[in-house]
């Protein structure tokens, strides 16, 4: 059933103090599975960002002054509406982003959980009471909203990765300007604007302005935007971090990854190959936590490779909107050509192709490569596609060295028959998240999420981390009678 509504209020528009025509005009929404035009969005330019920032700064004062239970009620209503509108939102996620229906449904439920968690934040303690060496003095430390938070979200999990920042930022009293990627602007932005608008969020508190690098740069540089939350490539994240550093602006960077799954010599090979397939091929591998490197002990390497290749060959690739498939299309031709180039260059350098390595249009077959060494492109680069490169090691020390040989440090996984061995190895791995006897693609809304090294600047999303991520700390001291100093 087609749940996509044509001629919607957002067609060719942005959301900024209502549904308005943007300075950048309209842009078509292209379905990657078919190449068909399925809608249109407005594209923002710097003048749209400027108007939104001024509006948000003004609206934020009333928003943070609203009683906490009223702010919480709006977020709960937004969660209810998100769930109620699941059929329409999921269809857009499938058609606009190439998600399978199972992936879209999981993403929407995870986003619903994010909203419920955020709705509970306004009623939590706002600070702490500290002792003082001064008799009669009270020391308070409290968290205050930043003001206006700019959120730049990617196209791969557009709903969840937008709401992961938007919901807690709103909950603690900020106004938010969301710039979704134009390739996912409907599901990852404009439908969310409708949800918040209908939930009763006051005008000006939330703006959705799809746009390209020019709009993103304007958002990052705007003096009335006090924080940037960016999810995307490491190269762009470095540039954003540099600008925010110069402006002394808070920034949260969740960047790329080249995540490794380590299969130790006492691992369950069948279970490990299942985890490896899921980690590499889920959503066509277009996930920052994708399992990009399979490091396997030499004694298990041949068996693991055979099982992984067998799983890859059984996966169906096609249009997820019309067919029951495991993998949908890649997001665009540029991404497909980049992935194929990495595969071809690695084969030319000596890797062996066991499965896949071919495509039709934007549909890339799940690919398994063996004989991969640390100097090959498929080992060194973030693939962001359905490719599983296998590299052999002989000892735990060598495995750790291979994992940490990447500048990235987002996620890792270790498979072993001994939890104590897995825990010991995890402490030596430089990654923000390590999963023992699981795969690298994991997210729980209440657990701090983030990377190390080239995968981020140490910022964390989720649970208690959100309180500090989207606020700033203020120390207030109080004393009944003024202190008399020596002069």
Q: Which residues are catalytic?
A: 254, 288
Q: For tokens 């229906």, name the residue.
A: 101
Beta bridge partners, 413, equal: 261, 435
Residues with Cβ < 8 Å from 397, sequence gap 6 or more? Answer: none
Element (DSSP H or E) covering residue 132: none
Closest among 424, 429, 425, 422 to 452, alpha carbons compared? 429
Between CA 445 and CA 426 the distance in angstroms is: 22
Element (DSSP H or E) covering residue 367: strand 367-370
Pinpoint the alpha helices (H) of 31-135: 46-65, 68-84, 86-97, 101-120
Between CA 382 and CA 408 the distance in angstroms is: 9
Between CA 115 and CA 109 the distance in angstroms is: 10
Concatenate the DSSP letters of all residues of 401-433 into one string: HHHHTSSEESEEEEE-S-HHHHHHHHTTS--SE
Residues with Cβ < 8 Å from 436, sequence gap 6 or more? Answer: 413, 414, 415, 416, 419, 422, 423, 426
Element (DSSP H or E) covering residue 434: strand 433-436
Q: Could you tell me if 28 and 40 are in contact, meaning their C-beta atoms sit under 8 angstroms apart?
A: yes
Element (DSSP H or E) covering residue 240: helix 234-246
Q: Could you tell me if 209 and 178 are in contact, meaning their C-beta atoms sit under 8 angstroms apart?
A: yes
Q: Is 51 exposed, middle or buried (0-12, 13-18, 19+ CB in 10 A)?
A: middle
């Amino acid at each position: 059933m087609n749940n996509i509504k044509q001629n919607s209020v957002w067609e060719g528009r942005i959301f900024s103090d209502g549904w308005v025509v943007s300075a950048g005009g309209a842009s078509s929404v292209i379905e990657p599975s078919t190449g068909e035009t399925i809608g249109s969005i407005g594209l923002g330019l710097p003048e749209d960002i400027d108007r939104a920032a001024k509006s948000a700064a003004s609206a934020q004062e009333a928003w943070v002054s609203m009683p906490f239970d009223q702010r919480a009620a709006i977020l709960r209503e937004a969660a209810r509406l998100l769930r109620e509108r699941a059929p329409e939102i999921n269809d857009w996620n499938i058609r606009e982003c190439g998600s399978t229906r199972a992936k879209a449904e999981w993403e929407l439920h995870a986003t619903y959980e994010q909203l419920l968690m955020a709705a509970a934040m306004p009623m939590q303690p706002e600070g702490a009471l500290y002792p003082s060496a001064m008799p009669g003095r009270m020391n308070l430390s409290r968290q205050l909203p930043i003001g206006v938070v700019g959120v730049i979200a990617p196209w791969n999990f557009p709903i969840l990765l937008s709401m992961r920042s938007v919901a807690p930022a709103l909950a603690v009293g900020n106004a938010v300007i969301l710039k979704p990627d134009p390739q996912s602007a409907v599901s990852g932005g404009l439908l969310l604007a409708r949800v918040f608008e209908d939930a009763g969020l006051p005008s000006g508190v939330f703006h959705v302005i799809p746009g390209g690098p020019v709009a993103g740069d304007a958002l990052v540089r705007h003096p009335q935007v006090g924080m940037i939350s960016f999810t995307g490539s490491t190269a762009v994240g470095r540039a954003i971090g540099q600008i925010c550093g110069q402006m002394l602006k808070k920034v949260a960077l969740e960047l790329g990854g080249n995540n490794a799954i380590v299969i130790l010599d006492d691992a369950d090979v069948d279970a490990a190959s299942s985890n490896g397939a899921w980690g590499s091929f889920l959503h066509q591998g277009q996930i920052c936590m994708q399992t990009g490197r399979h490091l396997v002990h030499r004694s298990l390497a041949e068996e693991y490779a055979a099982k992984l290749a067998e799983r890859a060959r059984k996966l169906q690739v096609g249009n997820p909107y019309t067919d029951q498939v495991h993998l949908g299309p890649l997001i665009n031709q540029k991404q497909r050509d980049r992935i194929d180039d990495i595969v071809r260059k690695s084969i030319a350098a000596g890797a062996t192709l066991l499965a896949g390595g071919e495509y039709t249009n934007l549909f890339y077959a799940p690919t398994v490569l063996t004989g991969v060494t640390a100097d090959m492109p498929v080992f060194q680069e973030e693939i962001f596609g359905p490719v599983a490169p296998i590299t052999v090691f002989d000892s735990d020390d060598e495995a750790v060295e291979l994992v940490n040989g990447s500048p990235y440090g987002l996620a890792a996984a270790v498979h072993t028959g001994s939890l104590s061995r897995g825990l010991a190895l995890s402490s030596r791995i430089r990654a923000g998240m390590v999963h023992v006897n699981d795969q690298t693609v994991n997210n729980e809304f209440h657990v701090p999420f983030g990377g190390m090294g080239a995968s981020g600047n140490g910022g964390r999303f989720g649970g208690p981390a959100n309180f500090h991520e989207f606020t700033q700390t203020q120390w207030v001291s109080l004393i009944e009678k003024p202190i008399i100093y020596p002069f």
